[in-house]
Structure 1
Amino acid sequence: MPNSANASGCEPLRTAGGSGHGGAGPGGDGRRSPRPPSRYDLRLVVPALACWLTAGVLLGASPLVASTVAALFLAVALPLLAAPLLHGVRFLPGVRSARGGARGGTWAAAVAAALVCASAAAFGTGARVASVESGPVRELAGNGARVRIEAVVTADPLVRSTPRGDLTVVRVRAETVRHRGRAQAVRVPVLVLATAHSGSAISTGPEWRELVPSRRVRFEGRLALPQRRELLAAVVFVRGPPRTAGEPSAPQRAAATVRARLREAAEVLPADQRGVLPGMVVGDTSGLDPGLAEDFRTAGLSHLLVVSGANLAIIVGALLGLCRWCGLGRRAPLVAVLAVPVFVLVARPEPSVLRATVMGLIGLLALATGRERHGLSALGAAVLVLVLADPGLARSYGFALSVLATGGLLVLAPGWRARLLRRGLPAPVAEVLALAAAAQVACAPVAVMLSGEVGLAAVAANLVVAPAVAPATLLGALAAAVAPFALRPAQLLVWPAGLAVGWIAAVARTTAAIPYATIPWRDGAAGAVLLLGAGAVAVAILRYRPARRIAAAAVAGVLVAVLAQRALAPGWPPRGWSLVACDVGQGDAVALAAGPGRAVVVDTGPEPAAVDRCLDDLGVHAVPLLILTHPHADHIGGVAGVRRGRPVGVVMTSPLTGGPEARAAPGLAARPAGPGQRWSVGPLELSVLGPASTGPRVPARADGTTVNNASLILVARLPGLSALLTGDVETEVQRSLAPHVPAVDVFKVPHHGSNRFHPGFFAASRAAIAVTSVGRANDYGHPAPATLALLRGLGMRSYRTDHHGDIAVLRDGARLVVVTRRP
């Protein structure tokens, strides 16, 4: 989901215009504890929820069903609207007619308003679905046709790592489609999935990644139907670069210039700071280290890397203060309004940006007119406007997280802040703590659906970084405004901004390294329901003193048990480890001991963060030999993580792939490894079993099986331990090599336990231990039940990284010992 970049965290922020509840925020004195409001204005909240729910449900329905639902809602709403009018009741609280009270008319109006909004959402959703599900593009997609398309880019490209290589995802609006010499004019949204090659690709090249919205492009590809019901006419698979036609629009060129010049100004900062600062200011994370991004996610700080309401609130708040200081008075909000479209243009109209913009405009309008607006009404209005304008947001996780975060700040934060003040906390600390906790709690059910984790340290991390967020954002925004005209002054501005950003990055790295900063949880809807149930139980416990005592005793018992287990269980890493299969998700990474602080690494997994974490935990400071078995991203995507702070010697690659793996390790010496070749690195001896160097070269557009079968197959021997490392070889190569497989102690199951195997290859290893490197809940069905059954039948003790985490194997006297990171 391309806009899911916003779904990785929640925003502890104050929405523009304030919470509407008074107290010691901006404009409050902070000397007394405000009372939370006795009731909330829900007049716009209920229609907004009806609109959101209707659009979300009907995105998966046909246009006929949507139209029918819209008509039914309207038919029910009209009598509710007519009856109060006939009796002279106005739809305003506290206004009574001569014939009776206003209560019945008000409730009728509320229900009618919700039904009218739901009807509008149904009509709009049905119309949008009809526009994308009819026409020549959808028809050609149903036939899997190969076409030429002229389109306009509508969103920033996103790069995704897959087992076959990097994939660039671009949303475009198709305007011309040409098939078999016939061109047809269209105007429908299309999702482009672009690669440079199939099979051996490790990059899509800069052409797709450097596109900006409004750029007109031409490309050729194969159409397919979207896998999910969403507002897309088709998905198009493209190989190779696009052809550009013309320049982007002038505003988009200006926005791209601002982003590029801010990156250039930030080059004077250390690596972490120059990667984070553009992300905090304009949402540009192109220079962000993947490992640091993972640390931000683990620490619950990902929202800082996504432009959201926090950015708008800080920037607009500063502008308001400046305008009022200059004596503009009530005209200050109108001046600040001018900054909003510029902010959206530079930051790109992502769901959180759009939500923040609408909320900001509503708050500024309230300030300009002098009329008080409740925060929930503003939030409801924002949801109504955005969902009616773009029904696709109804199924956007990023949009949901933004709305939930704001709702948490409006509903939960005031009461929590008041309680903290009554307990003697200073007002600034109470406010920041209440905001951070409210945003995290409100977002937790949706966040756990996505990540399958619950962050335990997120509130503390947000509390610690809070003082640095505003200086980093304001100074960075000022540098972004100055950089297109004067680079040197912009560099002077980013220096103090970098100090604030450096503090935030240091907190993220430190928090991510804390044991149990996150705990595993069930993902999906079941995980969200389970978390809500756990929250309800926690609230019930906190309300009753006997329950609190029982819960405290239970928590103390669990804590003692955990500490006892950590004290009695083998430490990590186990002393004298020889081989470790790192838990890198759906991919492979194996570390082989090569002396104190040194290891030979075979494959690196799909992402840098996981393999870097594994090697750090093992105390590996140098990698004299890096072996990349074949050029699929799940084996070479983490090279940057291996190189992070560690010298790397030679890179060995398969002799059949032409060395595309080496492009994942620029600046390192790379050479192909032939069969029979041997190396000694400290106590480790390695020999190449396959593939044959004289075999056919893998073509640039080879399929996945061909590339898998080009994998290097290695035999590793250490004092008292031997292992067969098999890459991703499949049935054909396994069958040919089975007679040549030596007996070993450890068998690395090929291709993550795929069902494409030859039993004789497995049996020939005579291994006592089988290790499968596989991602949790992966989409490939790995490891296959047949593969697991074969391992059991051969008497191998089977270990899996998705169940056991990192897996270490060592020799203890006459015994082979396996120590796993998780029980």
Structure 2
Amino acid sequence: MVVLTVFYVAGILTGELTNIKSSVALAMAGFCFLAAVAGYVVAWRENRRVILILFLLLGLALSRLAVEGSETQLTRYSGRWVTLIGQVVAEPDVREDKVFYLLQARELLQGGERRAAAGAVRLQLKESNRVFGYGDVLSVSGLLARPELPGNPGGFNYRTYLERQGISVVLMARGEKAVEKIGDNLANPLLNIALRLKQKLSSIAVTSLTPSHASVLNGIVFGTQGLIDKETRQAFTETGIVHILSVSGLHIGLVMGGMAGLLRLLKLPPVLTAPLITPVLAFYALMTGINPAVLRATVMALFLLWAHHLGRDRDWPTTMALAALVILLWNPLQIYHPGFQLSFAATWGILYLGPVFSKAVAGFLKGLPAGFPSFVSQALATPLAAQMATVPLVAWYYNLFSPVSIPANLVAVPLVGLIMLFGVFATVSGLVWLPLAGLINLGNGVVLSLFTQVVSFFQNLPGAVFYLSTPPLVLAVVWYGGLLATGWLLSGGCSPVAKERIKGWIIVGVVLGAALLLIWMPWKGGPGMTVHFLDVGQGDSILVQTSGGRNMLIDTGGRPGEFQTGTGAGDQVVTPYLRKIGVRRLDVLVLTHPHEDHFGGAAAIFNYFPIGMVLVTHVDEKDCEGGGVLEYEDTTSGNKKGESDLGEEIPAAYTTLLARITAAGVPVRVAGAGDTLRLDRETVIEVLSPGEMTGESKAYLNNQSLVLKLTYRHKSFIFTGDVEVEAQKGLLNREADLKANVFKVPHHGSQSLLPELVEQVKPEVAVISVGAHNNFGHPAQSTLDMLYRAGARVCRTDQDGAVIMRTDGYKLDVKGGKN
């Protein structure tokens, strides 16, 4: 069974690497099936290779069918405003500011025409107080779109994520008037009963607990994470116990254990244990929405439960392989889901490494009282084995390593058991009498408070979490090879001669792993300089990495309302990208001017990265001129009403941010034309603007943008913020050296670009940081034509994704993130 599953998985992976049609793969698999049947009848052992090839082709065919099945006719209407009629076929995902629904399309109205439609649609509904339920038939008006491919290397591929769930398009709607319930047609009455019961039990928790405690309890019991605040989720992630907030093997195990204990209490015969627990687990899975993560945990638990029932405990590899095969036959694309990989890796670690780790720990504790070594060894071995088995996957997908994960789990898991026990008693009691639920949850609230304090304690320990750059795949291969060899050696399952041979290979593996670590670790310094123009949509964010190992971030992107919500370009785009490439500290953060599309993500950056210095523009015209050393100045003083001397209002969020940075002891330097900053021995920054402007219209914060010229050996870059015509004229009048190899086009390529400025810069490459399908008409065609006439290569973040430039100071290499 293990070998068959391996070949099936190999077929799925082959499907990802090839574009072979599913019909071709199915024909090949059918031929192989006939040959396998004939071979089995004649002689199985001599023809088993045919069976293996059959499973490989089956995996290939089903994976291609799954990919092709997600490509529905709805993709033809991407980018259009439509009215869609569809049925809610899963539990709504309720967030603080929006609700997500999974709709099965029935009809589509567009351009006055009504036509039949089919396919899964993800509906995103904002600004609506009403939450619709499973089975409701809705009429929704909004923008139908196919998710964009990630613009930054290693970025989250939302399109692929949805396609692997059979969803090809999203429908974006806003407000109560955009959606109307026009009927209901319950597809699955049993699922409807389970979801309604869950909704009722969840509401009892909300009524009888504080909002923060209720959200955590509902996350633990039902896996509902939408209303858990971002800070809490981050704390759970950084301490390695985020699995507690989603229904996983832990929760299924607690339910199984609770049921087994109840059956023993009722003195029922053991032969009834598996048959009685199975429907309870199935109904619990339905209550939690039977999403892929729940399905994985339930299937694995049921297979292990029945393996124990049938006396097949020791054959756990076959049980695991069969569970994986069942899940992947249902949906082959689950193989790519991080949850699938983490679930099976952790289970493998517990079953394969757990016993040998337990034995090894017990050996160290021989001198302790009887029974104590066994208890401690088992308590330590399980989280240690699970963490060792998932380290490469967590580093790959989340770019972090949490040394406190093992002690945090040791303390948190028993508390989770208590929380679930109290929670179940309280919610079930609340169905009969709500005050009783409130009384029980008084005690549960104390446990929840202790639980969250424990998580906070571990999160705030020095060295609790390390953010890593994405490791190479070969390092994961070496890691898992080492774990296999270690488990084999410690289990005593090999001869002395084999042990010596394995030890030799382990030494080779350790040396190879150390070499890979040296290559992988983001040591300071490197060959040349790299400049990353990130794709943050309609905004700017540019990372400069010097040959001396310094990191300078120019602007942070920003989406409307991001500073207030804390969610947007800063935490969803810039921070993950910096972590993936190994940036752990920013030596300089530059905020070119106080507009949200340039500084909106700065709060997240300030929260997640140590910053050496912040460079800002001044909004008072009298202070625009610089002249040398960048001295610290409190830019929040003298501006009580939030207006600059130039007349335009300064966002309150900007002054609040600078006040926070100042209070944290980070130097804030105010720059003007004539100032210089040396990043390292060979990298110099000159501030070209703001300075004295010409023209009538001075009331633009855009014109106060910091304009920087970076010079590294024989190559130079000019970063222009959002300077308008007046500031551009000021640059020309100051007769500064504007010639540069790379020109960051001002204001997202708007029509305000002066041809005289382009003539002075003479760029080889012009970069336009702009959002796809923006409402401003950026970039202007006149600006594009001007740059083309100047002979510049034009790179656009809306088309090319991130624009990444590497130079040794003599040659310049330019690549796009989508290429």
Shorter-chain TM-score range: 0.5 to 0.7
Letter in 2 for 1:431: Q
1:137 maps to what in 2? 74
Does residue 1:722 correspond to 2:670, yes or no? Answer: yes
1:183 correspondence with 2:114:
yes
Q: Is 1:285–1:305's contact at 8 Å kept on the other side of the alignment?
A: yes
Is structure 2 residue 21 aligned with structure 1 residue 70?
no
1:616-655 equivalence runs, <5 A:
635=600
Q: 1:254-312 deviations in whole A, cap 9, x for unaligned?
A: 52453454354355545653332211110122332211210111111110111112111
- Counterpart CA distance in 2 for 1:371 and 1:539 is 22
Do 1:688 and 1:713's aligned partners in 2 also have CA atoms closer than 8 Å?
no
| Equivalent position of 2:292 in the other structure | 351
**Corresponding residue number in structure 1 for 2:8:** 51
Q: 2:218 aligns with which of 266, 273, 278?
A: 278
* CA deviation profile, 1:82-103 (whole Å, cap 9, x unmatched): 335324x6xxxxxxxxxxxxxx
Change (3 A) 1:466 1:785: closer
SS at match of 2:281: helix
Gaps of 5+ in 1: 1-42, 90-103, 196-203, 559-580, 590-600, 612-627, 643-672, 696-706, 744-749, 763-772, 793-823
Shift of 1:320: 1.8
Paired with 1:172 and 1:245, the residues of 2 have a C-alpha distance of 14
Q: Distance in 2 between matches of 1:752 and 1:429?
A: 63
- 1:547-562 alignment to 2 at 5 Å? none
Q: CA deviation at 1:371?
A: 6.0
Aligned mates of 1:752, 1:46 — CA distance in 2:
57
Preserved CA contact (<8 Å) 1:420 1:430: yes
CA RMSD of aligned residues (A): 5.6
SS in 1 for 2:643: strand
User: In the alignment, does 2:530 pair up with 1:530?
Assistant: no
- Partner of 1:426, secondary structure, is helix
CA distance, structure 2, for counterparts of residue 125 and residue 187 of structure 1:
21
443 and 751 in structure 1: CA distance in 2 versus 1, 3 angstrom threshold:
farther
Write out per-residue CA displacement over residues 669-717 of structure 1, whole angstroms, 9 at most, x where no aligned residue: xxxx9999xxx9998333634886699xxxxxxxxxxx9xx99999999
Look up the match of 1:331. Answer: 272
**Does 2:180 align with 1:243?**
yes
Report what 1:234 is aligned to: 168
Cα distance in 1 between the residues matched to 2:552 and 2:438? 41
The CA deviation string for residues 196-245 of structure 1, in whole angstroms up to 9 with x for no partner, is xxxxxxxx22458x344433222133444454464546313423243233
Deviation of residue 436 (structure 1)? 0.9
Distance 1:286 1:221, change over 3 A: closer
Shift of 1:399: 1.8
Kept in 1: contact 2:137–2:183 (CA 8 A): yes
- Opposite residue 186 of structure 1, the aligned amino acid is A
Match of 2:82 among 144, 147, 161: 147
Per the normalisation by structure 1, the TM-score is: 0.60
Query: Partners in 1 of 2:303 and 2:730 — Cα distance?
Result: 73
Greater relative CO, 1 or 2 (CA 8 Å, sep 6+): 1
1:290–1:140: structure 2 CA closer, same or farther, 3 Å change rule? closer
Q: How does 1:481-520 map to 2 (within 5 A)?
A: 481-520=428-467
Q: Alpha carbons of 1:715 and 1:289: their partners in 2 closer, same or farther (altered >3 Å)?
A: closer
Q: 1:279 and 1:604, CA in 2 relative to 1: closer, same or farther beyond 3 A?
A: closer
Alignment of 1:445-594 (within 5 A): 445-523=392-470, 526-533=471-478, 586-587=556-557
Cα gap change, 1:252/1:83 in structure 2, threshold over 3 Å: closer, same or farther? closer
Alpha carbons of structure 1 residues 160 and 516: separation in structure 2 relative to 1, 3 Å: farther
Output the amino acid matched with 1:388. Answer: L
1:317 and 1:603, CA in 2 relative to 1: closer, same or farther beyond 3 A? closer
| Cα displacement string for residues 537-579 of structure 1 (whole angstroms, at most 9, x for unaligned residues) | 799999979989x99xx9xxx9xxxxxxxxxxxxxxxxxxxxx
| Aligned-pair CA distance for 1:338 | 2.4
Are 2:665 and 1:688 equivalent residues in the alignment?
Answer: no
Following superposition, the deviation at residue 322 of structure 1 comes to 0.7
For residue 255 of structure 1, what is the amino acid of its counterpart? L
For residues 274 and 329 of structure 2, what CA distance do their matches in structure 1 show?
Answer: 26
Checking the alignment, whether the CA contact within 8 Å between 2:87 and 2:138 is kept in structure 1 is yes
Q: Could you state the TM-score of these two structures normalised by the residue count of structure 2?
A: 0.60
**What is the letter of the counterpart of residue 454 of structure 1?**
F
Q: 2:250 aligns with which of 286, 298, 310?
A: 310
1:713 to 1:293, Cα distance in 2 relative to 1, 3 A: closer
User: For residues 609 and 512 of structure 1, what CA distance do their matches in structure 2 show?
Assistant: 19
Q: Tell me how far apart the structure 1 counterparts of residues 602 and 200 of structure 2 sit (CA, whole Å).
A: 26
For the 8 Å contact 1:56–1:395, the answer to whether it is kept is: no
Tell me the secondary structure at the aligned position of residue 335 of structure 1: helix
Q: Secondary structure at the match of 1:359?
A: helix
- Find the residue that maps to 2:472 and give its secondary structure: helix
2:62 to 120, 124, 138: 124
* Residue type at the aligned position of 2:289: R
Alpha-carbon shift at residue 328 of structure 1 (Å): 2.1
The total of aligned residue pairs comes to 600
| Contact 1:340–1:357, Cα closer than 8 Å, also in 2 | yes
Partner of 2:725: 735
Q: 1:293 to 1:532 in 2, by over 3 A?
A: same
Question: Which secondary structure state, in structure 1, belongs to the residue aligned with residue 600 of structure 2?
Answer: helix
Q: Check the 8 A contact 1:259/1:278 in 2, yes or no.
A: no
For the residue of structure 2 that corresponds to 1:187, the secondary structure is: coil
Cα distance, 1:353 vs structure 2: 0.5
Q: Distance in 2 between matches of 1:712 and 1:376?
A: 59
- 1:403-482 correspondence runs (5 A): 403-424=344-365, 426-482=373-429
**Bigger shift: residues 230-239 or 533-542:** 533-542
Shift of 1:418: 1.9
Q: Is the 8 A contact 2:724 2:747 kept in 1?
A: no
Provide the C-alpha distance between the structure 2 equivalents of 1:155 and 1:82, rounded to a whole number of angstroms.
Answer: 43
How far does the alpha carbon of each residue in 1:714-736 deviate from its partner, in whole angstroms, 9 at most, with x for none? 99999995358969988765434
Q: For 1:280 and 1:608, locate their aligned partners in 2 and report how far apart those are by CA, in whole Å.
A: 28
Partners of 1:145 and 1:395 in 2: CA distance:
31
